Copies of this chain bind each other. A is one copy, B any other.
Amino acid sequence: MITILGAGVIGLSTALVLAENGHKVKIVAADLPDVAGSDGAPASYASAWAGAHFRPFPAKNEGEKRLATYTFATQKFMNKLAATRPESSVQIIEGVDWLDEPDQFYQKYKGQGIPEFHVYERNKTAQHDDVDPFATVPECVNWIATYKAWSVNAPMYIQWLYRELLFVYGVEFERRRVSSLKELFVPGVSVVVNCSGNGLQYDGSHDPHCFPIRGQTLLVRAPSAHKYNNSTITHQGKDGNWTFIIPRGLNGGWILGGTKQVKESDPKPREADTQAVIARGKLIFPELLSSNGEFDVKRENVGLRPAREGGSRVETERVSEGAVVHGYGCGGSGYEMSYGMALDIARLVEGVLRRDSKL
Contact = CB atoms under 8 A, between A and B. Distances in A.
Q: How large is the interface on A (under 10, 10 to 19, 20 to 34, 35 or more residues)?
A: 20 to 34
Interface in A5-60: 34-35, 37-40
A307 to B, nearest CB: 28
A256 B296 CA distance: 41
Contact of A87 (B40, B224, B250): B250
Given A34-B37, A35-B40, A86-B87, A296 B170 contact: yes
Nearest to A222: B167
Total identical chains: 2
Nearest to A290: B170
A164 interface: yes
Interface on chain A toward B: helix, strand, loop, or mixed SS? mixed
Interface string A151-182: 00000000110011011101000000000000
A296 B171 CA distance: 11
A251 interface: yes
A270 interface: no
B221 A251 contact: no
A80 interface: no
A311 interface: no
B167 A252 contact: yes
A160 B87 CA distance: 11
